[in-house]
Structure formats: structure tokens, C-alpha cells
Amino acid sequence: MCRVGIYRHMGGQDLDDVVDGARYLVSEQHVDPRRIGAVLICHGMVDTNVHFQDSVRLVQRLIELRKEDWELAVYPVESHAFEEETSWADEYDRILKLFERKVRSQGRPAG
């Protein structure tokens, strides 16, 4: 989606895309909705492509909508494409932990 399409609508059309993706997985791919892994927003603060304020606005919209199961990870020295090894490692560690906590554990039988 181009930036013009979401201008002044942060947390609107872009968030709708995420929701539509989840609905597609459930209806067309028969994915258990309890096993869809919520939203992890990873954003470099010096990104000149997607401005940091865009993620801040998205977070505010998630709060206003009382959404749950989302996280924000901020990378102060990163731009749009991460370069620091430590940032990459942190991002992938967060993805793994989120998957383990929210997706894999949801599908396990009790007991």
C-alpha cells in the first residue's frame, strides 16, 4: 500500500489489512483463529521511509480500539532496513518468543 493511501489514517487502512489477512487465513486456509500470532511492530527510530510517528499512531489506534496481543519493539539506531547484528538478533528473538507464547501454546491440548 502506498503512503498516500494511509495518509492521516494511521491505524485505519493499514490495520484493516492485518485484520483482513487474519480473516483470509481463517476462511480460506482453515487456520485456527486461536493460533494466529497477533501483531509485533518493529520500528527503527531513524527510518526515513516509514516514519516512527506512523508506528506511534498505529499503537495509539490499537489502544483506542482496546486491542490486545500486540507488541512494539523500538530500535533507536536503526533505519528502515536494520543493519546492526544486535537489532536483528533482538527482532528474531522477539518473534520466536511471541510465537512460542501466543501461537504454539494455543494449539496444545490441556493436561
Other CB atoms within 10 A of residue 49 CB? 10
Strand partners of residue 73: 42
Q: Rounded distance, CA 33 to CA 6, Å?
A: 27
User: Could you state, in order of their start, the residue ranges of all structural domains in the chain?
Assistant: 3-107
| CATH 3.40.50.970 is held by the domain 3-107 | no
Tens of each residue's pLDDT in the chain, 111 residues: 445 555 555 545 666 787 888 999 999 999 888 777 778 999 999 999 888 998 998 899 889 989 888 899 999 999 999 999 999 999 999 999 988 887 776 655 554
The structure's pTM equals 0.68
